[in-house]
Chains A and B, each alone.
Chain A
Amino acid sequence: MSKREQRRQQGAAWTDQTTDEGRNASSSLRDVTAQGYGLNIAPNQQRIIAKPVSIFDIQPDLAQPRRTIPSSIRTAWDGDPKGVKALFMVWWGEVQRERGEAAGKDELPFDLGAYLESGQTERTADEDATHEASGPLERSLLQITMLAASIRRDGLINPVTVEQGKNSRYRLETGERRWLAYHLLHAWFDGHDGRPDEREEWDTIPARVVEKFDVWRQASENNARDDLNGIGKARQFAVLMMDLRGMENFRPFSAFENEQDYYAQVAEMASPYGSREQLLNALGINSPSVLTRLRHFLRLPHEIWRGADDYNLSEEILEELYGIARQDVDKAIQRFREIIHVKNVRIQSGQTKRKAPPTEPGTRRHFTLVLRMMKQAGKGKKQSNQQALKTLAELRDWVDEQERIIRKLDS
């Protein structure tokens, strides 16, 4: 049971069983605060109760700005939910190839089964190294695997949202990652090779069925996670612009061979009068100049667009590449390949450096150590106290040093 469910259950034990309608305590920050201050804030979105929906009846939104599946893998898949299992196999194959190319044949990717079966979601230091040594394909698969493990351990905390379509089919509005995680669990725990058969459990996912697909709601969820890269933001910007200008004025996603061209339809378009604030808000940015930047990204060469997304290149680098591309596309692509190459090399050499676990002050390990030492200290425990004092002294020196550095910055 998740911490959250435990809390709810504890709470439920305290409340009278006679919870009359509408007095059910909400846990949405907006609702709770409005209630607490006695305000009438219209609820953000209707609280729709989630119901179980078959993962095979849900169609992903192909235009979703956040790419959970790396662009290079996604091209091998037509978007059919029945094909997700095959997609994972392709993905896993590509991860092994990526490993082989990067680090020599004897290097193995992370242990997918071990993650799923142990329900482990926190990485230990060694796995951190694995994590860092891996390329973008492995990293993104590892993320889904860890999400799947946490869902298996704690349950799904946040239901996905879907739009009702024809023939009891649904279109996925938010939650592509979670939906894929369910597919992974469904595919893995199929009773083969002595694994438990849990297929039925992962057959359906809790989903809120919304009346109408809303790109703004999708944007607010994407934005809430705070990890959209520059390309993701550019896609998000484009989708919202299309909504403002009327979706019917644009050619559909399926009409394009290259996904970038779909979004690039808005590259030269101005936002409708008075809508800029709304756009900025939905994108979570505070300066209009960022919009200009996102328009630039829409015009990057295809190869850079795709690679930048998979490798999570920073917006600064993208802007630089755009500047070069305006003069000379080939030069920009060359520069881009150099950057990717350096990134690859750095990722690998990072592994050897990590071998000796650092316990210098200022590292996470050291803080943990301090807290543990503090716990062990006590009356009459001379040695423990001595050690606690020693780590604290180290920490103090570190704090002083940080302080010196920061003061220097200001003088």
Chain B
Amino acid sequence: MKVISLLNEKGGVGKTTIAMHLAAGLAVRGYRTLLIDADAQANATAGLGLPEAPGFYDLLVRQANWNDLLRVLPAEMYEPPDTPAKGLLAMLPGNGETQLIAQKIDDAYAIYDRLAELEDSIDVVVFDTSPTPSLLHGAIYLATDAILYPTLCETFSLQGLMKTMKHHESFAENRKAQTGRMIHTLGIVPTMYRAKTVEHSENLNELRGRFGNQVWDPLSLRITWSEANTLRRPVFSVAPNSQAAHEAWGAVDRAIREISYV
């Protein structure tokens, strides 16, 4: 089992959108995938049209059983019209209570330990996180095998990205000391990209200069993404032949390749 977290301390950069698409895409490709909504705003939960409770809080504070928490999504909700899903997509919802978790636990490895129970039943876990650092983020970092950084090619987002990467390093030390495992970088994925603007293309060049091929192909700004969002389905299910769907698959397949190195 591999745990992937979407992180960026800047808000609105596409964490939730990519988390949902990545989880759904992996499920279509044959992975048994679990999406965990670790953001108290619960956008991913709402985005898939699921009820908010029981959720993440119940797992960590009420110590509920996984079997009582997981919701397996019907494949019609996310698979493309003529590509039946080969894996499965389960979700652990989030809600306002998520904010209270850190007050109630003091074990930095609480998430790590609960995820270990799923070793045999889930292949990939995807975390959607909130942008503002919190105590809970500490526990998520320590449970994470690889981080995927979505970012806009705009100055503030890049600053957020740099900060996040610095924190990645210091959490990685603790994880290594306690478990002997690393926190890899799965990649950096530029989102809502507009190739025609100078700011975006320059910043993308700078990113590539710095991080080389860790930078994935950008996901362009397209109306399809927000339309799919309204329909509560991924772009490749709503508009399988669109450019957006094409780019989304590009990211999913890149993720699959990177996961094999983690």
Contacts and interface: CB of A to CB of B under 8 A. Distances in A.
B242 interface: no
A1 interface: no
Contact of A27 (B49, B71, B108, B121): B108
Contacts of B134: 33
A264 to B, nearest CB: 29
Given A27-B109, A28-B106, A375-B120, A33 B138 contact: yes
A281 B65 CA distance: 27
B167 A37 contact: yes
Interface in A38-56: 38, 44
Given A25-B177, A25-B178, A226 B138 contact: no
Nearest to A25: B177
A4 B114 CA distance: 11
Interface in A387-408: 395-396, 399-400, 402-403, 406
Interface residues of A, number: 41
30 contacts: A3-B113, A7-B179, A11-B179, A14-B176, A14-B177, A25-B173, A25-B174, A27-B108, A28-B108, A29-B105, A29-B106, A29-B139, A31-B108, A32-B142, A36-B141, A36-B171, A36-B174, A224-B61, A224-B105, A224-B106, A226-B61, A284-B103, A367-B70, A370-B72, A374-B121, A375-B120, A375-B121, A396-B74, A399-B73, A399-B74
A274 B148 CA distance: 45
Nearest to B122: A371
B10 interface: no
Interface in A370-384: 370-371, 374-375
A15 interface: yes
Among A4, A15, A38, A371, max chain B CB count under 10 A is at A371
A396 B85 CA distance: 14
Nearest to A396: B74
Interface residues of B, number: 47
Contacts of B196: none
Contacts of A368: 67
B120 A29 contact: no
Nearest to A406: B51
A33 B74 contact: no
A276 interface: no
Contact of A395 (B72, B116, B139): B72
A364 interface: yes
A26 interface: yes
A278 interface: no
Contacts of B109: 4, 7, 27
A168 interface: no
A32 B67 contact: no
A33 B71 contact: no
B233 interface: no
Nearest to A400: B74
Nearest to B178: A11
A28 B65 CA distance: 23
A397 B142 CA distance: 37
Contact of A4 (B65, B113, B137): B113
Nearest to A227: B62
A30 B106 CA distance: 7
Contacts of A27: 107-109, 178
A28 B106 CA distance: 5
A167 interface: no
Nearest to B110: A29
B180 A10 contact: yes
Contacts of B170: 35-38
Contacts of B178: 7-8, 11, 25, 27
Given A36-B170, A375-B121, A26 B180 contact: no
Contact of A14 (B74, B104, B107, B180): B180
A13 interface: yes
B162 interface: no
Contacts of A224: 61, 104-106
B133 interface: yes
B137 A374 contact: no
B15 interface: no
A28 to B, nearest CB: 5
B221 interface: no
Contacts of B137: 33, 36
Contacts of B105: 29, 224
Nearest to A23: B177
B177 A371 contact: no
Contacts of A4: 109, 113
B21 interface: no
